Amino acid sequence: MQRKEQNEIMRESIHKYFQVGTIRWMSFPKMGVVESVKRIASDDYFDAVEISQCKDEEERKAVKEILEQSHLKVCYGAQPRLLGPKLNPNDLNEEGRKKAEATLIEAVDEAEYLGAEGIAFLAGKWEESTKDLAYGQLLKTTRNLCTYAAEKNMTVELEVFDYDLDKAALIGPAPYAARFAADMRTTHNNFGLLVDLSHFPTTYETSKFVIQTLRPYITHLHFGNAVVKKGCPGYGDKHPRFGFPESANDTPELTDYLTVLKQEGFFDASAPLVLSMEVTPMGDEDEEIVLASTKRVLNRAWALVED
């Protein structure tokens, strides 16, 4: 085969079009925070890392020092700040809503200190009878948060979750997320949506439907797996490894996800989005093996995307 023909079939690096990352607390749930941040920072497969709340000032300072050396894109996930203490940014009780808003404001400050350019969070639980009221509460929280973040030239991203399977978050299926994002963009241009392949089976949607519906608002990407067969181990929004028994996503689904992203214009070398793996060990599974496994699936899916 001639050199020219060989060059024509060579796949460009995924790192040209995406900042490939991982979510620290998912990849290394057993390893200490500082040790795991150092582990990710030492792996040149990663262009980005997603971190969350540090337990104290000593840990925060140590993490900051590692990140400053790493040349990693730093992202900050505020989801654990809400899920752990069960705070709800769309709480109908104003005192409860303000508590959620307060921890998200703190998240913006911590994210800034650690070198992140924004935060991501999720909506809270909802009830059918009060859904519209909850929507208004979430708008209030998110607008206040975006106003605060804008003062620091930072962004706010809302992650789209399931609405009736596990997290039961207000936002929600893709069309409802699109409505919320459109409402937010009328007042704040520093707002975007985070979509995750792991959640598509849990919202009964496809990559094509989600990405085409949310295209103007997507600013951040995750990928992973889910089990949606009731009664099976790992059922719900648990993010098991690819190839986990009875799970919904594997190499074909990730290939489809990447293909749709290409078709919809997300392969942008001049402004690559973060594409993070959200996969975690189940039971006694090994953190390092699951991480390597996820890289293999991404490498293979990337190779299978048609030119």
Mean of per-residue pLDDT scores for the chain: 95
| Number of other residues whose CB lies within 10 A of the CB of residue 221 | 22
Q: Are 225 and 217 in contact (CB under 8 A)?
A: no
Largest CA distance in the chain: 70
pLDDT at 10: 55
pLDDT band at 1 (very low <50, low <70, confident <90, very high): very low
CB-based burial, 142-175: b 16+ in 10 Å, e otherwise: bbbbbebbeeeebbbbbbbbbbebbbbbbbbbbe
Residue 200 has pLDDT above 70, yes or no: yes
Q: What is the CATH number of domain 15-223?
A: 3.20.20.150
Token digits for 182?
Answer: 């459109």
The amino acid present at 79, given as its one-letter code, is Q
pLDDT tens digit sequence for 206-257: 999 999 999 999 999 999 999 999 999 999 889 999 999 999 999 999 999 9
Q: Which helix (H) or strand (E) holds 293?
A: helix 287-304
Is 125 strand, coil or helix?
Answer: strand
Nearest to 216 by CA among 262, 265, 152: 265
- Asked whether the predicted pLDDT for residue 8 surpasses 90, the reply is no
Percent pLDDT > 90 in the chain is 91
Give the span between the Cα atoms of 112 and 35, in whole angstroms.
21
Q: Is the pLDDT of residue 11 over 90?
A: no
Q: Say what the pLDDT of residue 2 is.
A: 46
**Is the model's pLDDT at 5 over the cut of 50?**
no
95-139 residue pLDDT tens? 999 999 999 999 999 999 999 999 999 999 998 999 999 999 999
Neighbour-count burial for 26-57, b at 16+ CB within 10 Å, e otherwise:
bbbeebebbebbbbbbeeeebbbbbbbbbeee
SS3 call for 77: strand
Mean pLDDT of 272-297: 98
Judge whether residue 185 has pLDDT over 50. Answer: yes
Which residue type sits at 113? Answer: Y
Domain positions in the chain: 15-223
Mean pLDDT of 143-151: 98
Torsion angle defined by CA atoms of residues 7, 8, 9 and 11, in that order, rounded to the nearest 10 degrees:
70
Percentage, residues of the chain above pLDDT 70: 97
